[in-house]
Amino acid sequence: MDTGTGNITAGIDIGSITAKAVLLRNGEIAGTCVRFTGYNAKNAGRAVFDELLKEAGIAKEHVSVVVSTGYGRKAVDFADKAITEITCHGAGAWFMDPEVRFVIDVGGQDSKVMRLDENGKVVDFAMNDKCAAGTGRFLEVMARAMEADLDDFGVLSLSGEPARISSICTVFAESEVISLIAAGASRENIVSGIHEAAASRISAMAKRVGVAVPVMMTGGVAKNRGMIVALENKLGVSLIVSSYAQVNGALGAALLASRMG
């Protein structure tokens, strides 16, 4: 569809913590938007879309196709199609770098790994199951226990020697952290240990699917430098961090939407 403004499509990713939206115009990113999901996924989808359109100065009727993704994908009632975050993250990573063959996405409530073919199609994947260990939520809980700002949390981990945290359960790991604090372990070492514990969990899942290079890291947790380093150490490969890491799922959704138009 050509409205004089080019072919415009949108991707909307409703995650457990944030709602993300991306506009693509003629194969270029024309705008991104992130806001908290809150308790109403349906409203979050509308709000993030409206805000994005306003910021980009594009009228709703000029958007030809909308694809929704994320755990709240079915709540986006104005979307033309719902596609899982697995497929969308693969497409988003491929858009950023078509050479990428493996994606590690760590979001608020899940972490997932995907192996891609040369077209960005997912060949195999794995997701964490019924457990918050190795997710953004795990890091949030731990940052709170350590009274650290989430933004500084990763950097803090880089200056420590990882303390041993053996539990894979977020709740039990928090108890372990509290015991370590009581035992007088340094803050840096504990934070470093937390990152290593999460990275162990994610890297085991990645190895199960079979890591192929180059590897891209996406999702909100890609903002955490400590996690990137911990994962690189565990996997023995360097990670490409998408400059659109947090909105990668929405970006993939917008890209898949452009192929439907």
Partner 1 sequence: MSDHSKVNADAGKDPGKIRSVSRLKEIMTHYYIDAKTARDNSKKVAWITSGGPVEPLIAMDVIPVYPENHGAMVGASKMGVDLCRQAEVMGYSPDLCSYARADIACAVTQGGPIGGLPEPDFLVCCNNICGTVLKWYEVAARHFKVPLFILDTPFIHGEMTEEARRYVMSQVEEYIGFLEKQCGRKMDYDRMDEVGRLSVEGLRLWQAVLDTAAHKPSPITAFDAFFHLALIVTLRGTQVAVDYYKELLDEMHERLEQGIAVVPGEKYRLLWDNLPVWYRTNWLSEKFASHHACLVADTYTSAWSGILPLIDENRFLESMSVSYSSVYINISHDRMIDKLREMIEKYDADGLVMHSNRSCKPYSLGQYDLQKMVMDQLGIPSLIIEADMVDERHFAESQIETRIDAFMETL
**Strand pairing partners for 14?**
19
Determine, following the binding rule CB under 8 A, whether residue 259 of this chain makes contact with partner 1: no
Part in contact with partner 1 (CB under 8 A); list of ranges 46-54, 58-66, 80-88, 159-167 = 80-88
Nearer to partner 1, 126 or 156 (CB): 126
**Strand pairing partners for 8?**
25, 63
Part in contact with partner 1 (CB under 8 A); list of ranges 121-129, 152-160, 171-179, 238-246 = 121-129
Among 7, 87, 135, 203, binds partner 1 (CB under 8 A): 87
Nearer to partner 1, 125 or 153 (CB): 125
Q: CB of 134 within 8 A of CB of 217? A: no
Positions 200 through 229 that interact with partner 1 (CB under 8 A): 208
Place of tokens 């509308």: 46
Part in contact with partner 1 (CB under 8 A); list of ranges 2-10, 84-92, 153-161, 179-187 = 84-92
Positions 126 through 155 that interact with partner 1 (CB under 8 A): 127, 129-130
DSSP state of 73: G
Among 40, 97, 98, 121, binds partner 1 (CB under 8 A): 121
Q: CB of 1 within 8 A of CB of 56? A: no
Q: 51 is written with which tokens?
A: 């805000």
Three-state SS for 36?
A: strand
Among 24, 49, 71, 240, binds partner 1 (CB under 8 A): 71
Determine, following the binding rule CB under 8 A, whether residue 118 of this chain makes contact with partner 1: no
Nearer to partner 1, 7 or 69 (CB): 69
Report in angstroms the alpha-carbon separations of 8 from 28, 124, 211, 225, 247: 9, 30, 34, 33, 17
Kindly report the length of the chain: 261
Contacts with 97 (C-beta within 8 Å, 6 or more apart), sequence order:
214, 216, 240, 242
Binding residues vs partner 1 (CB under 8 A): 71, 83-87, 110, 121-125, 127, 129-130, 208
